[in-house]
């Protein structure tokens, strides 16, 4: 539960009343109530107005709006306002502005531009947070804290002299001696050997390729530096308001922070979701991000902290959300585990960089718009879903996602730049999504108890302890599926001696002699070694293939042409009670689907309903009840056979008998009593 006073799904959005006069606030309160808003995020970008200079605070506007929201029954997710410092702070202290890798020092004039290792910034931010928390700790509207905003958005890296000093300290803590740094980074290569800590710099611009281990550690260090900024604020808030939940909003697609590590420090995961409304966009991508967010919180409900009511302003072409699409995506969020649906933003700005970003209240300034009507309808519907809050999801399949692995694999030079980590994960996620089989996303150190299948595509890096953990998982009866370019390096991006796939050789029962990346016009073919009724006998493959030698494994498919001809393409190895698969190429989506559905069948994993293409199913469960969110993303109406008649449509209260028609773009939420 987000707060003991809120018993329904949180609904509202970023509210920036400082951009408006007080008569507009009064109108906002009426419109918020009309739309069913019960929660707003406040003061995210208010620092400059709250603090005119280093020694003066002015809470006049915040006091008034907090009181006004409270008297209208609306709770506040109060931001700590540290996302963007006032110009006077950037100017007063030389260490505040960040420096890019090629040495350009930033200037004030945008937002979220500060060096995470600036002492002056941290001092000023903690002063603000302490003052703000002390002032509002007992305010009846305060329901949750929202630290900063989208850490890593805009400034995910800084290369200034301060960061150089902090990086050395970080390295000293991690490695104790320069000798170990030399060993882990392989600095005998290209004459990079260090004799003193002071010789080590951030990986700034240089003429040749940078040291990959150095770059990787710098990414870790930057993620940790921003996490330190977050933790600094968290500690202050925890002390002043021990009972309140604290969040910070994650964003997707930047992938610069190790969110699995961050999530351990966050009470409620929240994130900002901006699926492209263009027809070519696949809703599976957004579904994946929701699953990832739920994974960060070990399955706990999260908050959809921001979504656009209609279009955004920052794509090359800002396609508008057609009627019903915002509602569809809102239910995708709730179905995948969100206990809150929030917008960026409540009222559309008239000035500034985001004036064409959609908002619940459009430039017309009133509630007379298609967008507001859709916001109001959704607000009223969500009020009928109190039973959903706190419910969770169950999955038999998990996919491993690891940031450090991504950072290491995606080094500036690699075997193939056509291979990216996220795509590899998504290529395996999408067939499961299309089959409506629930999936959890887990980190390399997550608990695997209860999963029957674990997929680890492109797990290039094998961290210490991981191989043993996966061997246990498989020996206990699990099925482990991994793919090409896995288990090549250790956590410092050093290749395992003795050949690939490093410490997973025994589990997989194979060795890999060479890898062969393919250009888009090069294809290969795989052929199954045994006839199987459900999987095509031959299938095209692309992107990459490995030259695999069998040690103990069985061959499932072989390459039938090119350099790999006759070599195994897919293998499996019995290990204890389970099986470990290796897929040595990029198979086609149809193949993956057939392959996974066969494994799911054997493991007794299936979808609750059989649904037409483009119809997404999400199940949440609580107190012996299941809640099925059926979302029709397709352009056709969907007809669904319902076998039992004990289903209740939660929005209409009606019982559902035998058949259900869901129009294109529409949704149904069914309560299923078991």
* Shortest separation between residue 344's beta carbon and ligand GLA, angstroms: 4
Among 344, 428, 556, 591, binds ligand GLA (CB under 6 A): 344
What residues contact residue 376 under an 8 Å CB cut-off, 6+ apart? 34, 35, 36, 367
Could you say which residues in the range 546-565 bind Zn ion, by CB under 5 A? none
Please name the helix (run of DSSP H) or strand (run of DSSP E) that holds residue 282, with its range, or none: none
Could you say which residues in the range 311-340 bind ligand GLA, by CB under 6 A? 312
Q: Which does 631 bind (CB under 5 to 8 A by kind): ligand GLA, Zn ion, none?
A: none
Among 148, 149, 247, 391, binds ligand GLA (CB under 6 A): 149
> Do 357 and 313 touch, CB atoms closer than 8 A?
yes
What residues contact residue 620 under an 8 Å CB cut-off, 6+ apart? 334, 335, 337, 388, 391, 392, 393, 626, 627, 629
H runs (alpha helix) in 489-635 = 505-508, 589-602
Give CA–CA dist 387/244, Å, rounded: 23
Nearer to ligand GLA, 312 or 399 (CB): 312
> Do 77 and 42 touch, CB atoms closer than 8 A?
yes
Nearer to Zn ion, 101 or 284 (CB): 101
Residue 28 makes contact with ligand GLA by CB under 6 A: no
Task: Spell out, one character per residue from 201 to 240, where the chain touches ligand GLA: x when CB under 6 A holds, - when not.
Answer: ----------------------------------------
Please name the helix (run of DSSP H) or strand (run of DSSP E) that holds residue 627, with its range, or none: strand 625-632
Q: How far is CA 455 from CA 70, 208, 440, 593, in A?
A: 48, 36, 10, 14
* Shortest separation between residue 595's beta carbon and Zn ion, angstroms: 47
> Do 439 and 291 touch, CB atoms closer than 8 A?
yes
User: Has 150 been annotated as catalytic?
Assistant: yes
Single out the residue of 273, 219, 288 nearest to residue 457, CA to CA: 288
Residue 229 makes contact with Zn ion by CB under 5 A: no
Q: Which residues partner with 15 through β-bridges?
A: 42
* Shortest separation between residue 149's beta carbon and ligand GLA, angstroms: 5
> Do 452 and 396 touch, CB atoms closer than 8 A?
yes
User: Has 663 been annotated as catalytic?
Assistant: no
* Shortest separation between residue 22's beta carbon and ligand GLA, angstroms: 23
Helix axes 589-602, 421-434, angle to 10 degrees: 60
Among 77, 157, 224, 306, binds ligand GLA (CB under 6 A): 306
Nearer to ligand GLA, 357 or 452 (CB): 357
What residues contact residue 18 under an 8 Å CB cut-off, 6+ apart? 46, 49, 61
Catalytic site residue from 306, 479, 491, 616: 306
Any idea which residue has 């005998």 for tokens? 188
Q: Which does 374 bind (CB under 5 to 8 A by kind): Zn ion, ligand GLA, none?
A: none
Give CA–CA dist 553/540, Å, rounded: 23
Residue 303 makes contact with Zn ion by CB under 5 A: no
Nearer to ligand GLA, 345 or 573 (CB): 345
Q: Are strands 510-517 and 538-550 parallel, antiparallel or unpaired?
A: antiparallel
Could you say which residues in the range 106-125 bind Zn ion, by CB under 5 A? 115, 117
Residue 156 makes contact with Zn ion by CB under 5 A: no
Nearer to Zn ion, 16 or 117 (CB): 117
Among 43, 83, 124, 158, binds Zn ion (CB under 5 A): 158
Q: Which does 344 bind (CB under 5 to 8 A by kind): Zn ion, ligand GLA, none?
A: ligand GLA
Among 357, 505, 579, 668, binds ligand GLA (CB under 6 A): 357
Answer left, alpha or beta for residue 249, where phi above 0 means left and psi between -120 and 50 means alpha.
beta
Which residues are annotated as catalytic? 150, 306
Residues that bind Zn ion (CB under 5 A): 115, 117, 158, 160, 162-163
């Amino acid at each position: 539960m987000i707060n003991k006073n809120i018993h329904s799904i949180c609904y509202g959005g970023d509210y920036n009343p400082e951009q408006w006069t007080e008569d507009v606030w009064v109108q906002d309160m009426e419109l918020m109530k009309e739309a069913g808003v019960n929660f707003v995020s406040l003061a995210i970008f208010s620092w400059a107005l709250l603090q005119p200079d280093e020694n003066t605070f002015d809470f006049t506007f915040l006091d008034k709006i907090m009181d006004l929201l409270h008297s209208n029954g609306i709770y506040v997710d109060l931001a700590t306002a540290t996302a963007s410092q006032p110009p006077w702070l950037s100017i007063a202290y030389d260490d505040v502005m960040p420096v890019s890798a090629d040495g350009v020092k930033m200037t004030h004039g945008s937002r979220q531009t500060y060096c995470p290792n600036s002492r002056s910034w941290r001092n000023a931010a903690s002063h603000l947070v302490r003052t703000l928390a002390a002032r509002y700790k007992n305010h009846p509207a305060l329901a949750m804290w929202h630290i900063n905003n989208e850490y890593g958005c805009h400034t995910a890296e800084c290369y200034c002299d301060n960061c150089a000093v902090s990086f050395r300290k970080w390295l000293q803590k991690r490695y104790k001696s320069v000798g170990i740094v030399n060993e882990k980074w392989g600095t005998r290569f290209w004459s990079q050997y260090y004799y003193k800590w002071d010789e080590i710099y951030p990986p700034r611009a240089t003429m040749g390729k940078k040291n990959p281990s150095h770059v990787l550690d710098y990414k870790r260090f930057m993620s940790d530096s921003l996490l330190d900024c977050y933790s600094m604020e968290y500690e202050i808030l925890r002390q002043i308001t021990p009972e309140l939940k604290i969040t910070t909003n994650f964003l997707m697609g930047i992938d610069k922070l190790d969110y699995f590590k961050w999530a351990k420090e966050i009470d409620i995961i929240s994130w900002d979701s901006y699926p492209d409304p263009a027809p070519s966009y696949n809703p599976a991508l957004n579904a994946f991000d929701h699953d990832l967010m739920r994974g960060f919180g070990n399955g706990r409900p999260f908050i959809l902290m921001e979504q656009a009511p209609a279009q955004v302003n920052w794509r090359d072409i800002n396609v508008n959300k057609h009627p019903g699409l915002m509602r569809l995506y809102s239910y995708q969020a709730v179905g995948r585990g969100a206990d809150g649906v929030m917008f960026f933003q409540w009222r559309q700005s008239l000035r500034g960089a985001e004036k064409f970003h959609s908002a619940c209240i459009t430039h017309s300034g009133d509630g007379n718009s298609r967008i507001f009507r859709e916001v109001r309808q959704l607000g009223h519907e969500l009020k009928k879903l109190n039973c959903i809050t706190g419910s969770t999801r169950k999955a038999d399949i998990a996919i491993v996602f690891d940031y450090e692995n991504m950072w290491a694999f995606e080094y500036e030079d690699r075997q193939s730049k056509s291979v990216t980590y996220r795509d590899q994960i998504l290529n395996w996620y999408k067939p499961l999504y299309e089959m409506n089989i629930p999936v959890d996303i887990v980190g390399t150190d997550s608990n695997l108890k209860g999963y029957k299948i674990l997929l680890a595509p492109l797990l290039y890096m094998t961290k210490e302890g991981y191989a043993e953990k996966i061997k246990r998982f498989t020996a206990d009866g699990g099925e482990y599926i991994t793919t090409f370019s896995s288990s090549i390096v250790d956590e410092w991006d050093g290749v395992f001696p003795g050949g690939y796939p490093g410490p997973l050789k025994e589990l997989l029962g194979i060795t890999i002699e060479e890898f062969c990346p393919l250009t888009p016009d090069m294809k290969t073919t795989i052929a199954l070694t045994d006839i199987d009724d459900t999987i095509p006998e031959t299938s095209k493959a692309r992107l990459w293939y490995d030259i695999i030698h069998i040690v103990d494994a069985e061959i499932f498919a072989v390459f039938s042409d090119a350099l790999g001809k006759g070599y195994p393409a897919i293998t499996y190895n019995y290990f204890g009670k389970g099986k470990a698969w290796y897929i040595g190429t990029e198979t086609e989506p149809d193949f993956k689907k057939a392959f996974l559905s066969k494994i799911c069948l054997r493991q007794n994993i299936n979808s609750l309903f059989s649904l037409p293409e483009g119809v997404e199913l999400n199940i949440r469960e609580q107190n012996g009840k299941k809640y099925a969110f059926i979302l029709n993303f397709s352009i056709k109406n969907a007809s669904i056979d319902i076998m039992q008649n004990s289903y209740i449509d939660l929005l209409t209260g009606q019982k559902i008998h035998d058949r259900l028609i869901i129009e294109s773009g529409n949704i149904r939420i069914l309560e299923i009593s078991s």
